[in-house]
Amino acid sequence: MVTVSMEIQILFAGLLFLIGLTGFLVGRNIIFMLLSIEIMLNSAALVFVIAGSHWMQADGQVMFIFILTVSAAEVSVGLALILQMYHHYKTLDADALSKLRDNEVK
């Protein structure tokens, strides 16, 4: 089995999370933002599995299954919201959704 030290594995998961976070902060296209959230969720789940394999417990993998469930529900609702947004605004730019913004403060 793999004998890479745990710090390298956690570093890998952290890098994946950072890539997702960067994509989320930089992107204005709402599909790319949802996609970056997927990367972040996946890397967080990766940390659970790494810890589970380190302490040889099944709990990490159980947590992965729960994260998978949450992410599936989140994606289905999110994509339905994106469809509605495209239907109403004809764009996927997240900045287009500014109806709640106070007009005087810009």
Q: Which of 44, 47, 76, 106 binds other proteins (CB under 8 A)?
A: 76
DSSP 20-44: HHHHHHH--BHHHHHHHHHHHHHHH
What is the torsion angle, in degrees rounded to the nearest 10, for the CA atoms of residue 40, residue 43, residue 48 and residue 52?
Answer: 170
The only residue of 37, 44, 70, 99 in contact with other proteins, by rule CB under 8 A: 70
Residue with tokens 């793999």: 2
Binding site for other proteins (CB under 8 A): 1-7, 9-12, 14-16, 18-20, 22-23, 26-29, 31-32, 34-36, 38-39, 42, 46, 49-50, 52-54, 56-62, 64-66, 68-77, 79-84, 86-87, 92-93, 95
